[in-house]
Amino acid sequence: MVQQAPFLFGKFLDPFLAFVVGTTSYYAFEYKTKREEGHYLNQLLMKRWNERGNVEKNDK
């Protein structure tokens, strides 16, 4: 029988901590690599979000 690995902080806190650490690491990577203007994750997400909002408004 396989024994489950113990949780570091808790069943629900561990995935949240992993998400926060991963997101922070990616932003540090973006800052180090000096991406072109308009190619940062925040800018791409905002562009996609705004396009999605315009499509929904046009459908009504």
State residue 10's pLDDT score: 86
Average pLDDT, the chain: 85
Instruction: pLDDT band for 9, please (50, 70, 90 cuts).
Output: confident
pLDDT of residue 15: 92
- What's the pLDDT score for residue 8? 83
Q: Are 8 and 14 in contact (CB under 8 A)?
A: yes
Global confidence as pTM: 0.60
Q: Tokens 């000096």 appear where?
A: 34
Query: What are the tens digits of pLDDT across the range 28-58?
Result: 998 899 888 888 888 988 999 999 887 655 5
The residue among 13, 37, 11, 41 whose CA lies nearest residue 27 is 41
Residue 25 has pLDDT above 90, yes or no: yes
